[in-house]
Amino acid sequence: MTRRRIEPLVWLMFSGGGVVAAVLLPVLAVLFALALPLGWVSRPDHGHLVAVLGNPLTQLVLTGVFVLLLVHSAHRFRYTLYDGLQVKLKRTTAALCYGAAALGAVAAVVIVWSIG
Amino acid sequence: MTEVRVYRRPIPTWWWVRKRTYFVFVMRELSSLFVGWLVVYLLMFLWAVGRGEDAYADFLDGADSPWVVALNVVALLFLALHVVTWFNLTPQAMDVRMGSRRVPAAAVIASQYAALVVVSAFVFWLVTR
């Protein structure tokens, strides 16, 4: 019965994460995964980044963002395995996907709140 | 209770490669894997920033290596597929109304792209100012 109660919440978080992945993740990925490493834009001062990332408002937003993205990713990949790639080990894949997301969420909280 | 045994025709693992729409569907769903990778990447970046100026510089120098760049380019292509398909599906999942009139699907889709531009510009300004 607990599964029934938690399922709508997971779908809600999946949708929220989908919106975040579509609206916010692209700029973060382009900026930090390509533009800064490849020198398309000059690297921001370390002190400036710490000031921005160490702001409690940024930390609050980033915590929510990472948790939503992780749930979105885990939930969707779980069904990709089941429907797409025909991996029918329902319980095992669910445990692995949500387990990985939970670990990621803990790491995200620790990392985000350690800055500043 | 007697168990009812139903015959289920087995579906081949690669059922989705023959038809274009099926293929795009599975690729769209697989974008989840790359969203997961980008979260891991961003967390590693934040970890480096938190450890200090040298770790921050080292991380960006390391992220310049061809394999990391290739992986991130692929991840961004999958993310682009997610963006387009997600925005296109929103009008079907949501009935947006203004007063008693239904907002046309094209307007719902356009407003999401507008949001993407505004959010991107704000983040870019916040990081690089």
Annotated domain spans of chain B: 94-129
What residues in chain B have per-residue pLDDT under 70?
A: 1
- Residue A1, pLDDT above cutoff 50: no
pLDDT for the residue A5: 81
Q: By CA distance, what is B40's nearest residue in A?
A: A104
* B67 neighbourhood in chain A, CB within 8 Å: none
CATH at A66: 1.20.1300.10
* B38 neighbourhood in chain A, CB within 8 Å: 25, 28-29, 33, 69
Tally the domains of chain A: 1
Global pTM? 0.92
Structural domain range at position A49? 2-112
> Can you say whether the dihedral through the CA atoms of A38, B64, B118, B96 is positive or negative?
positive
Subunit contact A73:B60, Cβ cutoff 8 A? no
Of the partner residues B49, B79, B87, the one whose CB lies closest to the CB of residue A50? B49
pLDDT for the residue B87: 96
Distances, alpha carbon B80 to alpha carbons A70, B35, B100, in Å: 18, 11, 34
Token pair belonging to A61: 């937003």
Confidence of residue A44 (pLDDT cuts 50, 70, 90): very high
Subunit contact B50:A25, Cβ cutoff 8 A? no
Distances, alpha carbon B15 to alpha carbons A78, A80, A84, B30, B93, in Å: 18, 13, 8, 15, 26
- Work out the average pLDDT over A29-49: 96
pLDDT for the residue A54: 95
The percentage of residues in chain A with a pLDDT greater than 70, rounded to a whole number, is 97
Distances, alpha carbon A56 to alpha carbons A92, A116, B73, in Å: 37, 9, 31
pLDDT for the residue B4: 85
Token pair belonging to A108: 């995200």
Subunit contact B69:A27, Cβ cutoff 8 A? no
Token pair belonging to A69: 């993205």
